[in-house]
Amino acid sequence: MFSAPEKVHQATFNSGSELVDTTFAERYPLDILIAEDNFVNQKLIERILIRLGYRTETVSDGAQAVNSIGKSNYNVILMDVRMPEMDGLEATRMIRKMAIKQPYIIAMTANVMTSDREECVQYGMNNYIPKPICMDEVISKLKIAAEYCSKE
């Protein structure tokens, strides 16, 4: 299958509906941990964040996320809800019990029912990104997270 090369203009690229600046991370500084078990989804969200100017770390299950958050001071966790070993809901519950500066946790899930969103909030997640992941949705949620983190 042939795919056309991406068109990159200096520090900008097209996200599908708007022109995005790769200096986004300078305007909205965040330390981000990605917790996602699916390799393709890991690479997609990493690529989006790199294009926005972020450097991130990625783990593949909730237990690793809990372990990582205890070692580093992340502002934001992009947390897949359904993962092996320990799912994102249980990981969030454990993180919320930790005596640390609490990160802003954004659920990433294909479950888009209202009850699914409510469950995420009940477990302590701050926001929600539906899958498949869309750049505009990520940008919107990161702006909210940055505003939240700047008030803390």
- Report d(CA 60, CA 7) in Å as an integer: 31
Q: State pLDDT tens for residues 102-152.
A: 999 999 988 766 777 888 889 999 999 998 898 999 999 999 999 999 887
Instruction: Write down the pLDDT at residue 20.
Output: 61
Domain 21-147: state its class. alpha beta
**Nearest alpha-carbon partner for 105 in 133, 71, 65, 70:** 65
DSSP secondary structure string, 42-108? HHHHHHHHHHTT--EEEESSHHHHHHHHHHS--SEEEEESS-SSS-HHHHHHHHHHSSSPPPEEEEE
For the cut 60, the answer to whether the pLDDT of residue 87 exceeds it is: yes
Please state the rounded mean pLDDT for residues 11-29: 66
What pLDDT was estimated at residue 112? 67
Q: Is the pLDDT of residue 22 over 80?
A: no
Q: Where exactly are the structural domains of the chain? A: 21-147
Query: What pLDDT is attached to residue 88?
Result: 95
CB–CB of 29/73 below 8 Å? no
The token duo for 84 is 């092996």
pTM beyond 0.75: the answer is: yes
